[in-house]
Amino acid sequence: MAPSAISPTTQDYKLSIEDLKSVDHSLGATLNNGPGLSISKQLIAQALKTRVDSIDPDTCDLGDDDAFFVADLGEVYRQHMRWKKNLARVKPHYAVKCNPDPRVIHLMKQLGMGFDCASMNEIETVLGMGVDPSRIIYAQPVKTKAYMRYAARSGVKQMTFDNLDELYKVKQLTPDAELYLRILTDDSASLCQLSNKFGASTNDTGDLLELARKLDLNVVGVAFHVGSGASDPQAFLKAVQDARFVFDQAEALGFTMHTLDVGGGFTGDASFEAMAAVLSDALDAYFPPHVRIIGEPGRYYVATAFTIACSVIGRRTVNDATLGTTSYMLYMNDGVYGNFSCIPFDHQKPTPRVLKCAADPINFLYDTHTSGYDTPSMTEYSIWGPTCDGIDKIPDTHCFAQVMNIGDWLYFEDMGAYTKCSATPFNGFPSAHDTIYVCSEPGAASLLEL
Ligand SMILES: Cc1ncc(COP(=O)(O)O)c(C=O)c1O
């Protein structure tokens, strides 16, 4: 996973369900979606349209035509309700690294969630938003000494470890810590593997617990992570069984074990319910109700909440004399060194869609669906980022019914996880982009006092 940073640039755009009164209701019809366009999509469409319509690339100020996000905080709220329905026993501690967006964190604070922080910066951000230190777990098994001193000063006590050397650091710097022993998992079916770097094998947990006992440290729980973007529910079952084994080992040594941390790995797609069912059953089978269960979901909460819009800054025509075809290379103002860092770091394949095409009679094309390669008049594109590097490319080729040109706009959905947090300023392109917030859920809007 890439490092996280707080984007300083946000735009307050208080568009909520109430504002639907003023939303252009012809948008749905214009987009051939009829009444089917959800409230969330209507709000996102309105925000995208308002912004891109206000930009003239020939006259706008520097930065006005930069890529920008639209975030539907209502989607974060819906994911929380879905979590509570399916994983009632597991108190979510949002993995801040995934997307440290201040509005998202604020909503989660209001929802009563806890937070998983991996660095001083993340702890500082969450504490700075008024979250009590007891709601934070410093879930980084190998910690920087100065950050540990900061955690101790700030009252953050919960932290993970998975090796002997870390225990000596804990003894020296945070002797009052409430420690979670992070164990190894089988993360082979996950998008991003973590067990190559973290987690103690059950062969080693005995030695670790004995040293913790000898150093008079306070081990209170076990933590695991089945890998980010997990796809095999059995990985959760095995991890819960291993955690039970370590709980028993620790209790035999005299530790009072009270919490199991089931980590992250959940995706927001339709597989969540099945994954949650296996995990819930395993928890009930191996951990009695008095054991507190926490989780560290990241991607699950935010992936689908963010849409990004990018403008086309250049175009190269590619004529294939042999085939007699014309395709285009489109260059856009964001790429793999920016918010599309999710391509190299998070193994994502974002899907481009046409947002605005001046040459098309409909012009604003959010959520219009064309039938794909079978449409005879489709034009083929490869899509590139703005830097000088040849790897700066959106994977695969893409076909649109429109002939796109400079100044037109593309958009990509599901861009909330591991995107802006790992954007770099490589080549001098901005790494911070505006976020326009909308809120499609009245419950979230009232928590946020919108
Ligand atoms: C310790 C820890 N917890 C939680 C997460 C969040 O994982 P996910 O986004 O898959 O839920 C990560 C991701 O790398 C992690 O390393």
Last residue of one domain, picked from the residues 297, 323, 354: 297
| Secondary structure of residue 342 in the 3-state scheme | helix
Residue 1 clears pLDDT 90, i.e. is over it: no
Alpha carbon distances (Å) from 306 to 12, 165, 299, 411:
15, 40, 11, 11
Q: Which of ligand 1's atoms lies nearest the C-alpha of 300?
A: 11
Judged against a pLDDT cut of 90, whether residue 57 lies above it is answered with no
The token duo for 91 is: 């108190």
405 within 8 A of 312, measured Cβ to Cβ: yes
pLDDT confidence bin for 252, thresholds 50/70/90: very high
User: 117 and 225: one domain?
Assistant: yes
Is there a single domain that holds both residue 279 and residue 402?
Answer: no
Q: Which tokens hold the place of 172?
A: 């020296």
Range of the domain at 63: 11-72+303-447
Ligand 1 neighbourhood includes 299 CB (under 6 angstroms): yes
194 lines ligand 1 (CB under 6 A): yes
User: Do both 310 and 272 map to the same domain?
Assistant: no
Q: Which atom of ligand 1 is nearest to the CA of 299?
A: 9
Query: Who's near 62: CB < 8 A, 6+ residues apart?
Result: none
Structurally, how many domains does the chain consist of?
2
How much distance in Å is there from the Cα of 384 to the middle of ligand 1? Answer: 29
Q: Output the pLDDT for position 164.
A: 98
Kindly state whether residue 2 falls inside one of the protein's structural domains.
no
The rounded Å distance from CA 318 to ligand 1 centre is: 42
Q: For residue 89, is it within any domain?
A: no
Q: Is the pLDDT of residue 80 over 70?
A: yes
**Residue 449: pLDDT band with limits 50, 70, 90:** confident
Given a contact cutoff of 8 angstroms between Cβ atoms, the answer to whether 11 and 47 are in contact is no
So what's the pLDDT on residue 370?
Answer: 57
pLDDT value, residue 15: 46
Residue 83 lies in a domain: no
Ligand 1 pocket, residue 143 CB under 6 Å: no
Given a cut of 50, is residue 24 above it in pLDDT? Answer: no
pLDDT band of residue 186 (cuts 50, 70, 90) is: very high
Instruction: Out of 297, 312, 335, pick the residue that ends a domain.
Output: 297
Beta carbon of 66 within 6 Å of any ligand 1 atom: no
Residue 167 CA to ligand 1 center (angstroms) comes to 22
Where b means 16+ CB within 10 Å and e means fewer, 267-306 reads: bbeeebeebbebbbebbeebbeeebebbbbbbbbbbbbbb
The answer as to whether 336 is a domain residue is: yes
- CATH number for the domain that contains residue 270: 3.20.20.10
Tell me, using a 6 A CB cutoff, whether residue 287 lines ligand 1: no
What pLDDT does residue 225 have? 98
334 and 286 co-located in one domain: no
Instruction: Specify whether 320 is located in the same domain as 393.
Output: yes
The pLDDT value recorded for residue 36 is 60
Q: Mean pLDDT across the stretch 270-287?
A: 97
Coil vs helix vs strand at 138: strand
Please state which of the ranges 36-40, 187-191, 264-268, 415-419 shows the lowest mean pLDDT.
Answer: 36-40
Substitution candidate for ligand 1 out of 160, 180, 225, 345 with most atoms within 8 A of CB = 225
pLDDT in tens, 381-404: 999 999 999 999 999 999 999 999
Q: Are 262 and 326 in the same domain? A: no
- What pLDDT digit, counting tens, does each position of 208-245 carry? 999 999 999 999 999 999 999 999 999 999 999 999 99
- 80 belongs to a structural domain: no
Of 122 and 324, the one with more pLDDT? 122
Are 145 and 287 in the same domain?
A: yes
Atom 13 of ligand 1: nearest residue by CA position: 228
Of 90, 98, 99, 300, the one to substitute when testing ligand 1's pocket (max ligand atoms within 8 A of C-beta) is: 98
Atom of ligand 1 nearest to the CA of 182: 1
Active-site residue identified among 388, 399, 421, 439: 388
Q: Domain of 346: which CATH number?
A: 2.40.37.10
Task: State the closest ligand 1 atom to the C-alpha of 228, by its place in the atom list counted from 1.
Answer: 10
State whether residue 332 is helix, strand or coil. Answer: strand
User: Is residue 272 assigned to a domain?
Assistant: yes
Ligand 1: does its nearest atom lie under 6 Å from the Cβ of 80?
A: no
49 C-beta neighbours (distance < 10 Å), count: 20
Best residue among 76, 93, 97 to mutate for probing ligand 1, ranked by most atoms within 8 Å of CB: 97
For a substitution probing ligand 1, which of 228, 266, 346 has the most ligand atoms within 8 Å of its CB? 228
Residues 108 and 174 in one domain: yes
pLDDT at 375 (0 to 100):
56
110 and 188 share one domain: yes
- pLDDT tens digits, 311-336: 999 999 999 999 999 999 999 999 99
Q: Are residues 440 and 307 in the same domain?
A: yes
Active site residue 310: no
Query: What is the whole-number distance in angstroms between the Cα of residue 146 and the centre of ligand 1?
Result: 22
Task: Measure 118 CA to ligand 1 centroid, in angstroms.
Answer: 10
Question: Same domain for 222 and 348?
Answer: no
Could you tell me the pLDDT band of residue 368, with boundaries at 50, 70 and 90?
confident
Say what the pTM is.
0.92
pLDDT of residue 208: 98
Q: Are residues 130 and 276 in the same domain?
A: yes
Q: From the CB of 263, is ligand 1 less than 6 Å away?
A: yes
For the cut 90, the answer to whether the pLDDT of residue 31 exceeds it is no
β-pair type (435-439, 292-295): unpaired
Mean pLDDT along residues 14-26: 45
Measuring CA to CA, which residue among 160, 271, 260, 274 is closest to residue 217? 160
Per the prediction, the chain carries an average pLDDT of 91
**Can you give the pLDDT at residue 32?**
41
Does residue 254 form part of some domain?
yes
**pLDDT reading at 23 higher than 60:** no
Gap from CA of 224 to ligand 1 centroid (Å): 10
- Give the position, in ligand 1's atom list, of the atom nearest the Cα of 118: 1
Q: So what's the pLDDT on residue 37?
A: 77
Residue 147 has pLDDT above 70, yes or no: yes
Q: How far apart are CA 48 and CA 173, in angstroms?
A: 49
**Which atom of ligand 1 lies nearest, measured to the CA of 265?**
10
- If you measure from the C-alpha of residue 59 to the centroid of ligand 1, how many angstroms do you get, rounded to a whole number? 43
Whole-number Å distance, alpha carbon 225 to ligand 1 midpoint, is 7
Last residue of a domain, one of 266, 297, 328: 297
Q: Is 296 in the pocket of ligand 1 (CB under 6 A)?
A: yes
The predicted model gives 143-168 an average pLDDT of 98
Say if 86 falls within a structural domain. no
Q: Which residues pair with 137 in a beta bridge?
A: 116, 158
Q: Average pLDDT for residues 259-276, to the nearest whole number? A: 97
Q: Residues of the chain with pLDDT > 90: what percent?
A: 87
Q: What is the mean pLDDT of residues 117-122?
A: 98
DSSP 3-state helix, strand, coil percentages of the chain (rounded to 5)? Answer: 35, 25, 40
Instruction: Give yes or no for residue 12 having a pLDDT over 50.
Output: no
